[in-house]
Amino acid sequence: MDIYGIDDWLAWFLLGTGLLLVELLIGFTFYAAPVALGAFFAAIVAAFGDSLVPQLIAFIVGSASSLLVLRPLVKRHLLPADPEKRSNVQRMIGARAVARERIEVDSGTARIGQEVWSARTLSEDVVIEEGTVCEVVSVSGVYTYLQPHDPAAKANPENEVETEAENGPAPAGEEND
């Protein structure tokens, strides 16, 4: 059987190839590619000499199954992660670390949780001595960038409210410990 004067398997193959090119142009949304797979399935059926009805069935079933099964899998891997979901490295930002050795702008190690990381400071002016509690401010490759931990900056406002409620307001000029 011929479609527009060319063999039907070749027509399906050209349709699939054209749809893959469209997929490239629209930025890998994976809408045209599953339909292209359906066209390739129809080309295989046509190559065996079947009539148009089995070719259309192969095209529809191949396209639909590709859209329903493959698209969600590919979408999960191609699209950027949800900004609200943080990776393991992103979760480290703000974590506490303990300097295992002197940390400078170009050397040092720190323990973060149960892991030992190469650590650096962000500035040549900052030097963190061994045993100092630090805070992770960024991660780049295998390096964590630390700053000395400031307990006042990490104060929890909820805890302050509970303390005030238990002890009453602090007298003027004095603070609750």
Q: Is 133 helix (H, G, I), strand (E, B) or coil?
A: strand
pLDDT on residue 83: 62
pLDDT in tens, the chain (177 residues): 666 788 999 999 999 999 999 988 987 778 899 999 999 999 999 999 888 999 999 999 999 999 999 888 887 777 666 666 666 777 888 899 999 999 999 999 999 989 999 999 999 999 999 999 999 999 988 899 999 987 654 433 333 333 334 444 444 444 444
Whole-angstrom Cα distance, residue 121 to residue 139?
Answer: 11
pLDDT of residue 169: 47
Counting Cα atoms < 13 Å in the Cβ hemisphere of 25 gives 7
Domain residue spans in the chain?
A: 2-78, 88-148
Q: How far apart are CA 122 and CA 105, in angstroms?
A: 6
Distances (CA, A) of 110 to 47, 58, 138: 64, 59, 14
pLDDT value of residue 10 = 93
CB atoms inside a 10 Å sphere around CB 128 = 24
pTM of structure: 0.48
Give the pLDDT score at 121. Answer: 94
The pLDDT assigned to 13 comes to 96
pLDDT of amino acid 37: 95
Start-to-end CA distance of the chain, whole Å, equals 89
Could you give the C-alpha distances from 105 to 5, 102, 109, 144, 145, in angstroms and in order?
71, 10, 11, 11, 9
**Fold held by 88-148:** OB fold (Dihydrolipoamide Acetyltransferase, E2P) (2.40.50)
